[in-house]
Chains A and B, each alone.
Chain A
Amino acid sequence: MSAVVAEHDDHHDHSPAKGLLRWVITTNHKDIGTLYLLFALTMFFVGGAMAMVIRAELFEPGMQFVNPQFFNSMTTMHALVMVFGAVMPAFVGLANWMIPMMIGAPDMALPRMNNMSFWMLVAGVLLLASTLFMEGGAPASGWTLYPPLVLQTGKALPFAIFSVHLLGISSIMGAINIIATIFNMRAPGMTLMKMPMFVWTWLITAFLLIAIMPVFAGAVTMLLTDKFFHTSFFDAAGGGDPVLYQHIFWFFGHPEVYVMILPTFGVASTIIPVFARKPLFGYSSMVYATAAIAFLSFIVWAHHMFTVGMPIAGELYFMYATMLIAIPTGVKVFNWTATMWKGSMTFETPMLFSIAFVVLFTMGGFTGLMMAVAPVDFQYHDTYFIVAHFHYTLVPASVFILMAAGYFWLPKWTGHMYDERIGRLHFWLSVISVNILFFPQHFLGLAGMPRRIPDYAVQFADWNMISSIGGFIFGASQLLFLYIVINTIKGGTGEKVTAEVWEDAAKHSLEWTLPSPPPYHTFTTPPTVIPTEHI
C-alpha cells in the first residue's frame, strides 16, 4: 500500500500540470494562494463597483440613478462581496502562500481539501452574484440579513442562504487546513513561540472561524425554515422572536469582524519590523493580546444591539466588556509604535501603507470606543457614524494592509520588482482620498443621517458630495494597484530581486531564505536554522 502511494506521489509532484487545467486541479499551496489572491482582487473591484453606485446615488439629494430597492441591494451585496469575497479570501490566499514558507513546511497539511475550499468559494460567490438577476432582486436587507425584513426578499432568498452555506463551508475547510498545517507541519525547532506573528494571528483566526461560521450557518438555516417550512424561530406570530436572530447573528458577527482584522495585525507585525530594521517590540505580548482580543470577541456581541430594549444590567455589562477590548488593542498599537521608535526606518510602499494602517486603524478604534458607551450609542446607532467607524477599521486597516502585503511579497512571489514610484503614487492617492471619503461620514452620522438610504435631507448634501468625490478618487486610484500587479507579474521594473528582497529580511522570517520566485516545491527537507529576529 505505502509503495503504491509513494509511486503515485513521485508521479505528479515535480512540476505544475500544463495548461489552464493546472489551476483547476492544483493542490499546490502556492497555486492555490495565487488563485485566492487573484479572486479576492477581482471581487475587490466588483464590490468596489457597487460602492461607486452607492456613492454616485448619494452624490446629491434626490433620486438620480437607481431605484431604492436596487440601492439597498447594492449596500447589501457590496458588504457581502467585500467581506466574504474580497477580504476573507485575500487573507486565506496570504495564509496559503506564506504559512508553509514561514514555518518551513513543504505544503499545507491537506492539499486536496485546500483545492476544494477554493472552488467552493467561487461557487458560493457566483451563487450570490446570480441573485442580482433574479425576480425580486438581490437581498436588500443589509448584510446582517435581519428578519422579518430579509424574509421579504424575492426569489433570491434561498439562493443567498445557500451561498452563505457554501462560503461558510469553504471558510471552515480553510480554517481546519490552517490549524492542521500550523500544528503538525512546523519544521523542527519552529516552536509555537518562535512562529512569525502572521502565523500566530492566523492560528487564532482559524479557531474563531470554526467556532462562528457554523453558528451563522445555523442562523440562516433557521431563516430558511421560517420562510419555507413554517418554523417560528424568528416569527412572533408563532411564538418566535426577531431579536433572537440578532443575538445569534452577532454571536457570529462580532468575532467575524476580528476574523478580518487579526490577520491584518499579523501582516502589520511582519512588515513594520523589516522596514524599522528592529525586532518586533513585545512579541509575546502581541501573541497574548491577539488571544485576548479573540476571547473578548465572544462576549461582547450585544453592543451591536443597544437599542433593542435591553435592561440596564445588559447595557452596562456589554458596555464595559466592549471597552475592555481597547486594552489588548492598545498593547498592539503601542508595540508597533515602539517597534518603529529609534528604528532605521525607510519608507517603501509596504511600510507607507503599514504606517497609515497604524494611524487610521487607531482612529477607527476610537470611534468604536465612543459607540461602546451605551447611552450615547443611541445617537450613533444606524447612522453614518457607524458606517464611518467600520469603514475606517476595514478600508484603511484591512484593505491597506492587504495592499502592503501585496507590495511586500509580490517581489518574492514573482521574482520581479514592482515600480516603486507608482506604488508611492498609489499610496498617497489612496491615503488622502480614503479620508476625504470616510471622514465626512462622521459628521453626517453625528448630524443624524441614517445609513442604508438612497435619498436624504438637504442639510446633508455638502458632506455627501465631498464623500462621494473622495470615493471616486479612491476607486480610480485602485486601478493603479491592478496595473502594478499585472506589470510586476509580467516583469516589473526588470530589476533582479535577491532572495531577501528587503534588507536583512531573512533575519525575520524563513520565506526570505528561499529564492525569488520560490521553486514550485519548497522545504521538502525542513530548514535547519530558524530565524528569531521577529521575536
Chain B
Amino acid sequence: MKEGVTQKNAKLVRILVFVVLGMFGFGYALVPLYDVLCEVTGLNGKVEPSAVKEVSYEVDKSREITVEFMTALNEATPMVFRSEIKKIKVHPGEYVTVNFYAENKTDKVMVARAIPSISPGAVAEFFKKTECFCFSEQTFKAREGRTMPVRFVVNPEIPKEYKTITLAYTFFDNTETSVK
C-alpha cells in the first residue's frame, strides 16, 4: 500500500470515528430534545410538574367539560389509592378541588411518587393545577393513609371540541431510589 493511501485512510478514519462519537452523543441529546419538543407542543400529555398561580378566569357557563379521574398503582406498589369521585362536570374557568385517598399498606415508611398523565394529550396545556400531591414525593408512615386534594381549572380558551378530559395518576414506590 502506498504511503499516500495510508495517510488518507488514517484521516478518513479519524473523521468517521468523530462522526460515530457525535452520533453517540446525539442519542443522548435526543432526551432533552424530546422533552423540549413535548413542552413546546404539549404533546404526549405531559403535564406541568409544578403548581401554577391561581388567576381568575371568566367562567364559561355555556359549556360543561367532564373530567374523569383514574388511579393506578405501578407493579408491586403496596398501596391503596383512589379518588373520592370518579368524574365531575366543570365549567371552563371554574376552580374545583377533588380529593384523593392514598394509604401505605406496609409496616415501613414509604416514599411514593404519583405521576400524572392527561388525555387527550393536546389539552394538557389548558389544564392548570394550583395544588397537587404529584408535585413532589410523598412520604407515608407505616400504615398511614391520608386524603390529598388536587385543585385545578380548565382554561376557558380550550377548543370547543374537547368535552371529556381524563386525568390519570400512577403511584410508584420510590422508597429505595429516593434521594432522602
| Interface flag for A210 (CB, 8 Å) | yes
| Interface flag for A215 (CB, 8 Å) | yes
| Interface flag for B51 (CB, 8 Å) | no
Residues of A within 8 A of B26 (CB): 214-215, 218
Residues of A within 8 A of B41 (CB): 311
Give the secondary structure class of A's interface: helix
Interface residues of B in 1-28 (CB under 8 A from A): 1, 3, 5, 8-9, 12-13, 16-17, 19-28
| Interface flag for B92 (CB, 8 Å) | no
0/1 interface trace, chain B 24-48, chain A, CB 8 Å (1 if under): 1111101100100000010111100
| Interface flag for B128 (CB, 8 Å) | no
Q: How many whole Å from A292's CB to the nearest CB in chain B? A: 21
Interface pick from B58-66, B81-89, B93-101, B114-122: B114-122
| Interface flag for B170 (CB, 8 Å) | yes
Closest to A110 in B: B9
Residues of B within 8 A of A243 (CB): 44
| Interface flag for B113 (CB, 8 Å) | yes
Closest to B112 in A: A237
| Interface flag for A251 (CB, 8 Å) | yes
Residues of A within 8 A of B122 (CB): 311
Contact (Cβ within 8 A) B24 A233 = no
Contact (Cβ within 8 A) A237 B115 = yes
Known: A109-B9, A179-B12. A237 touches B172 (CB 8 A): yes
Contact (Cβ within 8 A) A233 B23 = no
| Interface flag for B50 (CB, 8 Å) | no
The A/B interface has a contact count, at CB < 8 Å, of 96
0/1 interface trace, chain B 168-180, chain A, CB 8 Å (1 if under): 0010111001000
Contact (Cβ within 8 A) A218 B174 = no
| Interface flag for A466 (CB, 8 Å) | no
Contact (Cβ within 8 A) A210 B19 = yes
Closest to B115 in A: A236
Residues of A within 8 A of B46 (CB): 241
Interface residues of A in 178-194 (CB under 8 A from B): 179-180, 183-185
Contact (Cβ within 8 A) B16 A217 = no
Residues of B within 8 A of A486 (CB): none
Distance A218 CA – B22 CA, assembled complex (angstroms) = 11
| Interface flag for A197 (CB, 8 Å) | no
Residues of B within 8 A of A215 (CB): 23-24, 26-27, 30
Distance A190 CA – B31 CA, assembled complex (angstroms) = 43
| Option from A106, A183, A212, A244 in Cβ contact (under 8 Å) with B34 | A244
Contact (Cβ within 8 A) B172 A236 = yes
Residues of A within 8 A of B30 (CB): 215, 244, 247-248, 251
Contact (Cβ within 8 A) A309 B9 = no
| Interface flag for A176 (CB, 8 Å) | yes
| Interface flag for B106 (CB, 8 Å) | no
| Interface flag for B74 (CB, 8 Å) | yes
Residues of A within 8 A of B173 (CB): 237
Interface residues of A in 214-234 (CB under 8 A from B): 214-219, 222, 230, 233
| Interface flag for A63 (CB, 8 Å) | no
Contact (Cβ within 8 A) A309 B119 = yes
Q: How many whole Å from A68's CB to the nearest CB in chain B? A: 18
Q: How many whole Å from B116's CB to the nearest CB in chain A? A: 10
Closest to A309 in B: B121
Distance A145 CA – B135 CA, assembled complex (angstroms) = 30
Closest to A238 in B: B177
Contact (Cβ within 8 A) A314 B8 = no
Contact (Cβ within 8 A) B49 A239 = yes
Contact (Cβ within 8 A) A309 B44 = yes
Known: A309-B45, A309-B119, A309-B121. A233 touches B31 (CB 8 A): yes
| Interface flag for A211 (CB, 8 Å) | yes
Closest to A212 in B: B23
Distance A110 CA – B12 CA, assembled complex (angstroms) = 11
Contact (Cβ within 8 A) A218 B24 = yes
Q: How many whole Å from A28's CB to the nearest CB in chain B? A: 14
Closest to B17 in A: A176
Q: How many whole Å from B81's CB to the nearest CB in chain A? A: 14
Contact (Cβ within 8 A) A247 B19 = no
Q: How many whole Å from A424's CB to the nearest CB in chain B? A: 43
Residues of B within 8 A of A219 (CB): 27
Contact (Cβ within 8 A) A214 B20 = yes
Interface residues of A in 141-199 (CB under 8 A from B): 172, 176, 179-180, 183-185
Of the A-B pairs whose beta carbons lie under 8 Å apart in the complex, a sample of 14, sorted by A's number, is A106-B1, A172-B20, A176-B13, A183-B8, A211-B19, A214-B20, A215-B27, A216-B27, A237-B115, A237-B177, A248-B27, A248-B30, A309-B44, A309-B45
Given A2-B3, A237-B177, 4 new contacts (CB under 8 A): A109-B9, A176-B16, A237-B174, A241-B44
Task: Report which A residues bind B (CB closer than 8 A).
Answer: 2, 106, 109-110, 172, 176, 179-180, 183-185, 210-219, 222, 230, 233, 236-239, 241, 243-244, 247-248, 251, 309-311, 314
Smallest CB-CB A-B distances: 10 pairs: A218-B27, A237-B172, A214-B24, A215-B27, A214-B23, A176-B16, A236-B115, A184-B8, A109-B9, A230-B177
